[in-house]
Structure 1
Amino acid sequence: MAGEINKGLVLLDYWVSPFGQRCRIALAEKGLSYESSEQELFGAKSELLLRANPVHKKVPVLLHDGRPVAESLVIVQYIDEAFPCTGPALLPADPYARARARFWAAYSDQVFEVGKRVWQLKGEERKQAREEFVRVLKNLDGELGEKPFFGGEAFGFVDLALVPFMPWLPSYERYGEFSVAEVPPRLAAWTRRCGERESVAKSLYPAEKVNEFLAQHKDDYGIE
């Protein structure tokens, strides 16, 4: 990647992981160069990953001069704090605004977690999951409001936390009972706006690639 050279940055990642994509967007926004180390998602974990994240044994993990930082939102905050003079700030400076951003970034995980239930469950459980999923999207839309981005005029922490989940929505429609037409208009417009950013466009894969991935790993993900 173009930008400031930081030989000590290595991202343990998997190409379609929305959690890893959060970290990629953050690194791109800050203009930081890094080495990408592609890991195995379903097979045996590498020795490097097991040493770097012995608790959860999963990606993403950021190595900075050999020291591991795990969990995507923790990694993004670390990047922002470790390189304060490089690129734009990802979190707001005001303590209350920062706390609010952390809340909504963490809440955005519900798009993925509840979304999984939409296409993995059946019958009444799937119906309930779909209803909850729509509520999650409406809550996010309410927080976004009429602002261009969740933090206001500038792309930031909540935006990069949420946007990697959006290319998964068409697959939820295909394998579940959710319709992308149920995405609130403001949130849909926000998704398109984020997609116009170079950091996002270069870090995410289109919905078609996500669907190909799910189709290839149907058994692993419990898709019939």
Structure 2
Amino acid sequence: MADVVKLYGVAGSPFVCRVKIALNLKEIKHEFVVEDLSNKSADLIKYNPVHKKVPVLVHNGNPISESLVIIEYIDEAWKGVSILPQNAYEKAKARFWAKFIDDKCQPALFKAIASHGQEEAVAEVHEQLQFLENELEGKKFFGGDNINLVDISATFIAYWVGAAEEALGIKILIKDKFPKLIEWSDNYVNCQVVKDGLPPRETPVAFFKKRFGKA
């Protein structure tokens, strides 16, 4: 009997897109269930009663929440391309950088975007992004020649930051300062499995204009 896989989410969420990309990498057929976050479905509340948010992956009736947890589950539950390294040390490093992106980079990025590129906020982002720039030394992706957990975790940096820059007329990722990150971003978003998991560019651009645009 074939696996029944459903992904509950919204198309414009970078966290939902992380899971889509992981599913694409593993070539897992799934049903995408669109949620209205202003009127959450009974299923979403049932499957994620703690946070009541997306994404939620439901595999043969079993729900898994939180994007990084879901990605690790996908990697363990299905064969195919490995998303996490097999070596214990390299796996620990990948988990460290994924957590660093969630705990340090994304909050700083949102702060810089919300401030319309205020100098102090951008300087804080640059301090965090420099660690990722250094980590890319000599590599095409954070996973080396192939996409791994860290690349997927950094999807917001690769795609949403550029949309925010376009929407608000600001600059955060400066080519002279972060040449490796910008090259990585181009390589990453142009991978077909990634492209297929991303919303049209106008979706995040419209989101940032609506949420942070000046009246």
* Both proteins in one fold, TM over 0.5: yes
SS in 2 for 1:155: coil
Per-residue deviation, residues 68-95 of structure 1 (Å, max 9, x unmatched):
1000000000000111x2x211101111
10, 14, 31: which one pairs with 2:6? 10
Per-residue deviation, residues 154-184 of structure 1 (Å, max 9, x unmatched):
2111111112432221344343753433561
* Superposition deviation, residue 114 in structure 1: 1.4
Q: Distance in 2 between matches of 1:47 and 1:223?
A: 36
Q: 1:90 to 1:206 in 2, by over 3 A?
A: same
Q: Which residue of 1 aligns with 2:129?
A: 137
* Superposition deviation, residue 14 in structure 1: 0.6
* Superposition deviation, residue 185 in structure 1: 0.8
Q: Which runs of 5 or more residues in structure 1 are unaligned? A: none
Q: Which residue of 2 aligns with 1:101?
A: 94
Alignment of 1:88 onto 2:81:
yes
SS in 1 for 2:73: helix
Q: Which runs of 5 or more residues in structure 2 are unaligned? A: none
Q: Which residue of 2 aligns with 1:26?
A: 22
SS in 2 for 1:181: coil
Q: Distance in 1 between matches of 2:46 and 2:199?
A: 28
Q: Which residue of 1 aligns with 2:42?
A: 47
* Superposition deviation, residue 118 in structure 1: 1.2
Q: Which residue of 2 aligns with 1:181?
A: 174
Q: 1:223 to 1:46 in 2, by over 3 A?
A: farther
Q: 1:100 to 1:223 in 2, by over 3 A?
A: farther
Alignment of 1:162 onto 2:162:
no
What stretches of structure 1 move > 6 A for 4+ residues in a row?
Answer: none
Q: 1:89 to 1:222 in 2, by over 3 A?
A: same
Q: Which amino acid aligns with 1:180?
A: L
Bigger mean CA deviation after superposition, 99-108 or 180-189 = 180-189
* Superposition deviation, residue 200 in structure 1: 0.3
Residues paired across the two proteins, number: 212
* Superposition deviation, residue 117 in structure 1: 0.9
Q: Kindly report the root-mean-square deviation, in angstroms, between the aligned alpha carbons of the 2 structures.
A: 2.2
* C-alpha contact (below 8 Å) 1:52/1:68 kept by paired residues: yes
SS in 1 for 2:154: helix
* Superposition deviation, residue 214 in structure 1: 2.6
Q: 1:222 to 1:177 in 2, by over 3 A?
A: closer
Q: Which residue of 1 aligns with 2:194?
A: 200
Q: Which residue of 2 aligns with 1:61?
A: 56
SS in 1 for 2:141: coil
Q: Distance in 2 between matches of 1:61 and 1:6?
A: 20
Q: Distance in 2 between matches of 1:133 and 1:178?
A: 12
